[in-house]
Copies of this chain bind each other. A is one copy, B any other.
């Protein structure tokens, strides 16, 4: 298998396109590829092609787009991950894992118990970093689609967004078993795969009562098992569980 590169401009066989700066550096400095090297490129929107490096300088690289190739199939259920921003670099890991498993989009949200404020998230370049993590994960796992990282927003906006269909329904909000009387266990959700769904996952400190009440109006509250799952592992656990239930695995 040839090395894979992210090339958003790869759309039509035969065209000569530039690789993004980071990808060109990866080809030249890490993999030490040269002119004429056979590679694969994917455009992040589902397109995957053979390609050949035509020029490679310190300024960048151009590649000739070759024959289209079949990329790793996407899940039939399009799952949007709504994830409360986690501490430190943990959100990077969640983005990496969610892309690897096949999430369609990632909505970072700031909840009552999120340790970083929405203003601080917006000031930082976190969203750009998460998008780079998503590209890197797509390269490694073989996806030709790079999920969008949405603009971070407050969790208050989420139930409203679900209602106005910006976030796919059914929306499953993961809660601790003790958090809500109305929660069902994940095994009780419909085993018939929906066309799309959302998973909503809280921060290290969990949801507060107001958020649970707000979400109960538009989401299904679901719990996973009877043990305490670490916040930064919950996305991987929940995505694995629903993809297993919906026969994606």
**Distance between A248 CB and nearest chain B CB, rounded to angstroms:** 6
In the complex, the count of this chain's copies comes to 2
* Closest-CB distance, A2 to chain B (whole angstroms): 15
**Chain A: interface size category:** 20 to 34
A143 at the interface (CB under 8 A from B): yes
**Most chain B C-beta atoms within 10 Å of own C-beta, residue among A225, A227, A233, A247:** A227
- Pick from A36-44, A118-126, A150-158, A236-244 the stretch touching chain B: A236-244
Contacts of A240 in B (CB 8 A): 236-238, 240-241, 244
Query: Distance (Å) between the CB of A177 and the closest chain B CB?
Result: 9
Give CA–CA (A241, B238) in the complex, Å: 9
Shortest beta-carbon distance, A76 to chain B, in Å?
A: 11
Inter-chain contacts of A248 with B (CB < 8 A): 187, 225
User: Contact check: which of B143, B229, B243 meets A241 at CB < 8 Å?
Assistant: B243
Is A194 part of the binding interface, using a Cβ–Cβ cutoff of 8 Å?
no
- Chain B hits for A141, CB < 8 A: 227-229
Given A227-B142, A228-B140, A233 and B187 touching (CB < 8 A)? no
